């Protein structure tokens, strides 16, 4: 008999709809006001920290919903915004500068639901409130660093080739090399041209050879600096507990950072403005450090203090920078001594291999360099940064190193863990400064949600009423499928890690409601035509669904392609709209064709029907 459901199709509908409903469930539980505590570079989160937090809150007479500790973070949930502000102030005073104390909103999802991956939809800045930063990368520092690296590379290459020179000087985007005679200059020019394709070389008077960065290479250096900083900023904002931060490039040297749910703007600025880098250098053992301390520092070396304030004499030549580190984790060696295992990218592995080949058994230092903003500005009105350097580790090179090596000589497992975290977090290529800041309050976000939900409710109500009046019993089926469609959209949005609901995204949901009904209208009108042509109810249902399928498919595919184009070329609100549009198209196709037909077959299929209520 026509219009009977196979068991697998009924089970498929039940599983898909129930699964989406399950993962849509966290959205009804709301969020708690919370204060998050994470350790800074010189501290760690443990049970003692949890007890200190609990005692501090009790002394401040602050009612706490609960305190959670996981992933090296402590989350304190409170009942209202006033308690949140009081808790932040009390914890900042109690814990000091070694901990990051930030206010945010934490989902109140039940543990049993969170254990299976359930989480509410990520809301954009316009719905949840938060902070928007426009940050600018200091390209002068980027180019100075590139020239400094190239200068050291030229010195090493000419020395290894046996080409003697007087001086190697760097200025702006050029490197000037002065030679002793014309023959050496010609040989060096031929050697360097073949070795360094990123430079153009010009021979000038007084036996000078000038190397100038090519425009293509300058553009690559700037682009790499921005992209590397984007990656590191994403790692940093994780300290603030942001559910779905937006970090993306804007223009040639700017980065947009949006942190939904963040209420502590000052703390966000403090973390994002912290600009640091890492360098690996050899310890200078050829010269006496006592002479350097007394003022006689060799030209090829410099003095840098360690954490205890003890000076270390290091070579100026940088063996490797932290930008080449792709992973780092702490552990112990075969003797139980703490160590840090490091993995480099391919370029970094080659550099480390060349640098350590002739230095086995010699000490290598890890230098932490931080750029701190001052209250001064340059001629362009940009903030001037002060550079601070610190030796955080000195270890002996055990063998020629490559893409993977280990750092030993650490005092404790805690120091190894802290160093691994620092290396893993990465280092900004250049200082950055905030040139624009906007804060969206939670009240405005709440108003946007209420207005968006009102639009969805009214749209749903009018569509449900129309379908019920116009298509009678079949309208009830369409309405059930429409409600299932909304549940599936929310469930899918909650399951996809990168999906964020914005105000334009809510507009996409409203549009999807109309599109979902449109598919049902096509099917039901085709069934009516089949009945008018004299077919039996069962034949009309069968041919109505089959005949309308191609039309529905064509219409939705073209709309889906438009959504893909919007997602590919759009930014911000356009992307938010296109994401919900594409998800809505996929779910509406499933509910309009599969769910609706399954319900119709369950009600009217497989039995004698004289007349359809359509």
**Stronger pLDDT, 263 or 346, i.e. the higher one:** 346
Residue 129 lies in a domain: no
Q: How would residue 24 be classed by pLDDT, with cut points 50, 70 and 90?
A: very high
Angle at 379 between CA 376 and CA 385, to 5 degrees: 40
pLDDT > 70? residue 532: yes
Residues 199 and 304 grouped into a single domain: no
Residues 12 and 50 grouped into a single domain: no
| Host domain of residue 304 | 274-437
| Residue that has been written with the tokens 């310890």 in this structure | 283
Residue 39 tokens, joined: 């350790």
Residues 97 and 163 grouped into a single domain: no
What b/e sequence results for 406-427 when a residue is b if at least 16 CB atoms lie within 10 Å of its CB, and e otherwise?
ebbebeeeebbbbbbbbbbbbb
Residues 421 and 536 grouped into a single domain: no
pLDDT for the residue numbered 354:
84
Out of 165, 192, 214, pick the residue that ends a domain.
214
Residues 378 and 460 grouped into a single domain: no
**Stronger pLDDT, 278 or 584, i.e. the higher one:** 584
**Measured between alpha carbons, how far is 84 from 356 in angstroms, rounded to an integer?**
52
Q: What's the average model confidence in pLDDT over 141-169?
A: 84
Q: What's the average model confidence in pLDDT over 219-245?
A: 73
Residue 290 lies in a domain: yes
Q: What's the average model confidence in pLDDT over 494-504?
A: 81
Give the three-state DSSP class for 81: helix
Here the CATH number for the domain that contains residue 189 is 3.30.70
Residue 538 lies in a domain: yes
Q: What's the average model confidence in pLDDT over 585-610?
A: 87
What is the tally of structural domains in the chain?
A: 4
Residues 77 and 208 grouped into a single domain: no
Residues 367 and 288 grouped into a single domain: yes
Here the CATH number for the domain that contains residue 519 is 1.20.1640.10
pLDDT for the residue numbered 352:
84
Question: Smallest Cα–Cα separation from 203: which of 234, 223, 169, 176?
Answer: 176
Q: How would residue 442 be classed by pLDDT, with cut points 50, 70 and 90?
A: low
- For the stretch 61-80, pLDDT in tens is 999 998 988 777 888 999 88
Residue 121 lies in a domain: no
Residues 595 and 542 grouped into a single domain: yes
pLDDT > 90? residue 19: yes
Residues 461 and 389 grouped into a single domain: no
Question: Smallest Cα–Cα separation from 430: which of 233, 139, 133, 235?
Answer: 139
Q: What is the mean pLDDT of the chain?
A: 82
Q: Which of 139-143, 198-202, 311-315 has the lowest mean pLDDT?
A: 139-143
pLDDT > 80? residue 579: yes
pLDDT > 90? residue 290: no
Residues 445 and 432 grouped into a single domain: no
Out of 387, 404, 437, pick the residue that ends a domain.
437
| Residue that has been written with the tokens 């209202």 in this structure | 80
Here the CATH number for the domain that contains residue 50 is 3.30.70.260
Burial of 8 (0-12, 13-18, 19+ CB in 10 A): exposed
**Measured between alpha carbons, how far is 122 from 114 in angstroms, rounded to an integer?**
15
CB 348, CB 320: distance < 8 Å: yes
- For the stretch 509-521, pLDDT in tens is 888 887 788 888 8
Residues 477 and 561 grouped into a single domain: yes
Out of 82, 107, 132, pick the residue that ends a domain.
107
pLDDT for the residue numbered 239:
53
For the four alpha carbons of 195, 197, 202 and 208, in that order, the dihedral sign comes to negative
**Measured between alpha carbons, how far is 168 from 334 in angstroms, rounded to an integer?**
45
Residue 612 lies in a domain: no
CB 101, CB 88: distance < 8 Å: yes
């Amino acid at each position: 008999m026509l219009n009977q459901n196979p068991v697998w199709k009924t089970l498929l509908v039940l599983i898909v709809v129930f699964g989406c409903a399950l993962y849509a469930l966290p959205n009804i539980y709301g969020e708690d006001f919370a204060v998050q505590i994470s350790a800074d570079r010189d501290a760690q989160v443990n049970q003692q920290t949890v007890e200190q937090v609990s005692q501090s809150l009790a002394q401040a007479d602050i009612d706490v919903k609960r305190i959670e500790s996981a992933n090296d973070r402590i989350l304190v949930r409170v009942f209202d915004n006033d308690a949140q502000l009081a808790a932040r102030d009390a914890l900042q005073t109690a814990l000091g500068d070694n901990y990051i104390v930030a206010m945010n909103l934490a989902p109140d999802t039940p543990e049993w639901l969170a254990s299976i991956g359930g989480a509410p939809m990520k809301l954009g800045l316009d719905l949840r409130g938060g902070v928007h930063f426009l940050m600018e990368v200091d390209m002068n520092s980027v180019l100075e660093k590139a020239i400094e690296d190239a200068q050291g590379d030229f010195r090493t290459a000419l020395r290894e080739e046996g080409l003697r020179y007087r001086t190697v000087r760097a200025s702006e985007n050029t490197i000037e090399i002065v030679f002793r005679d014309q023959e050496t200059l010609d040989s060096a020019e031929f050697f360097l041209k073949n070795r360094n394709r990123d430079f153009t070389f010009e021979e000038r008077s007084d036996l000078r050879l000038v190397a100038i960065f090519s425009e293509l290479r300058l553009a690559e250096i700037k682009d790499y600096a921005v992209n590397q900083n984007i990656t590191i900023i994403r790692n940093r904002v994780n300290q603030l507990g942001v559910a779905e931060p937006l970090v993306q490039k804007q223009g040639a040297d700017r980065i947009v950072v949006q942190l939904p749910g963040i209420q502590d703007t000052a703390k966000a600025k403090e973390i994002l403005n912290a600009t640091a880098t890492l360098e690996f250098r050899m310890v200078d053992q050829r010269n006496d450090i006592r002479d350097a301390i007394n003022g006689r520092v060799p030209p090829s070396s410099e003095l840098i203090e360690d954490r205890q304030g003890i000076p270390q004499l290091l070579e100026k030549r940088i063996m490797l920078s932290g930008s080449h580190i792709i992973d780092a984790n702490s552990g112990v060696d075969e003797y139980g001594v703490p160590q840090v295992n490091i993995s480099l990218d391919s370029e970094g592995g080659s550099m480390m291999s060349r640098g350590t080949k002739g230095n086995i058994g010699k000490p290598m230092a890890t230098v932490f360099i931080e750029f701190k903003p001052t209250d001064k500005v340059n001629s362009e009105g940009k903030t001037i940064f002060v550079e601070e350097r610190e030796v955080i580790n000195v270890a002996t090179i055990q063998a020629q190193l490559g893409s993977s090596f280990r750092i030993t000589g650490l005092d404790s497992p805690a120091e190894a863990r802290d160093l691994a975290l620092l290396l893993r977090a990465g280092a900004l290529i250049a200082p950055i400064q905030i040139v624009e800041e906007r804060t969206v309050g939670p009240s405005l976000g709440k108003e946007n949600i209420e207005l968006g939900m009102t639009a969805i409710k009214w749209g749903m109500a009018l569509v449900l009423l129309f379908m019920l009046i116009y298509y009678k019993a079949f309208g009830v089926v369409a309405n059930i499928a429409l409600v299932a469609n909304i549940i599936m959209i929310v469930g899918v949005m909650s399951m996809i890690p990168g999906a964020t609901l914005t105000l334009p995204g809510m507009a996409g949901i409203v549009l999807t409601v109309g599109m979902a009904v449109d598919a049902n209208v096509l099917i039901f009108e085709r069934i009516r035509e089949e009945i008018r042509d004299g077919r039996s109810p069962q034949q009309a249902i069968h041919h109505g669904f089959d005949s309308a399928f191609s039309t529905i498919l064509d219409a939705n595919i073209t709309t889906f392609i438009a959504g893909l184009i919007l997602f590919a070329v759009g930014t911000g609100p356009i992307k938010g709209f296109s994401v919900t549009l594409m998800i809505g198209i996929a779910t509406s196709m499933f509910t309009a064709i599969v769910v609706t037909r399954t319900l119709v077959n369950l009600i009217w299929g497989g039995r004698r029907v004289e007349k359809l209520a359509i």
